[in-house]
Amino acid sequence: RKNIWKLSTGSKNLDEILGGGLESQSITEFAGMFGSGKTQIAHQACVNLQCPERIIADDAIKEEILNEPKAVYIDTEGTFRPERIIQMAEALGLDGKEVLNNILVARAYNSDMQMLYAENVENLIREGHNIKLIVVDSLTSTFRTEYVGRGKLAERQQKLGRHMATLNKLADLYNCVVIVTNQVAARPDALFGASEQAIGGHIVGHAATFRIFLRKAKGDKRVAKLYDSPHLPDAEAMFRITEKGIHD
């Protein structure tokens, strides 16, 4: 695993528990209830990719990353907001429209489209797009609504596993940061008790290197908990979501 680089989340606290930021050649999963900040973190990552100070990399590789880097945002819930990107970009002194132009948004209406868009990222790269960030927001919502009931579990598990394998391959081959979101009703400790969660949890858990559980705290505060990392201790971090975006 050579040439690993990191993308800041915008929060020093959150970067710290991740070991410095969102790591390339890995999948980072953000799970949590509605409004916990999964989509906001994904938007901020797309903005931060255009901010050289928020890319942590050796000089040699930094040049490659900074060569018109682009993000792919696979949006399965219709929650991508261009205005929010512009707001976050301007808070960093960046040109909002320019930042927006470097985000390739793909609206997926079902799991087949979602999987196809992920598979197509390789073609975009071959066409010359320097894709360095891939977001799937949400990873699980289409699968949840399409594969309902016991009889569909095996198929759902298999497809989700294949989708994650595609994302892992892209991360490895092209040195990308990959973020996936996963809405859950329960906390991580409770998460593995319920059979509904255990299925997605099992598959996602094996494919994602970094797993973060988000929960709401007072006002604009959020708590992120890193858990089940193969090489980092479980840890918590506090950050905020304001009109400026994600920060401590």
Give the tokens for residue 130: 């320097």
Buried b (16+ CB within 10 A) or exposed e, 10-44: bbebbbebbeebbbbbbbbbbbbbeebbbbbbbbb
> Which residues pair with residue 143 across a beta bridge?
none
Q: Of 84 and 162, which has the nearer Cβ to Mg ion?
A: 84
The interface partner of residue 243, options being ligand ATP, Mg ion, none and the CB cut-off 5 to 8 Å by kind, is ligand ATP
- Residue pair 213/224 in contact by the 8 Å Cβ criterion: yes
If you compute the radius of gyration of the chain from its CA atoms, what whole number of angstroms results?
Answer: 17
Q: Of 13 and 36, which has the nearer Cβ to ligand ATP?
A: 36
Q: Of 53 and 243, which has the nearer Cβ to ligand ATP?
A: 243
In angstroms, rounded to a whole number, what is the distance separating the alpha carbons of residues 175 and 4? 7
Q: Of 24 and 39, which has the nearer Cβ to ligand ATP?
A: 39
DSSP 8-state code for residue 159: H
The interface partner of residue 120, options being Mg ion, ligand ATP, none and the CB cut-off 5 to 8 Å by kind, is none
**Cis peptide bond prior to 8, omega within 30° of 0:** no
How many residues touch Mg ion (CB under 5 A)? 3
> Which residues pair with residue 241 across a beta bridge?
246
* Cβ 71 to ligand ATP shortest distance, Å: 16
* Cβ 101 to ligand ATP shortest distance, Å: 21
Backbone dihedral region of 90: left (phi > 0), alpha (psi from -120 to 50 degrees) or beta?
alpha
Q: Which of 46, 40, 134 is nearest to 89 (CA)?
A: 46
The interface partner of residue 188, options being Mg ion, ligand ATP, none and the CB cut-off 5 to 8 Å by kind, is none
What residues line the site for ligand ATP (CB under 6 A)?
32, 34-40, 79, 84, 87, 183, 241-243
Window 10-49: contact mask with Mg ion (x via CB under 5 A): ----------------------------xx----------
Q: Of 30 and 227, which has the nearer Cβ to ligand ATP?
A: 30
Site for Mg ion in 127-156 (CB under 5 A): none
Q: Of 26 and 36, which has the nearer Cβ to ligand ATP?
A: 36
Q: Which chain residues interact with Mg ion by CB under 5 A?
A: 38-39, 79
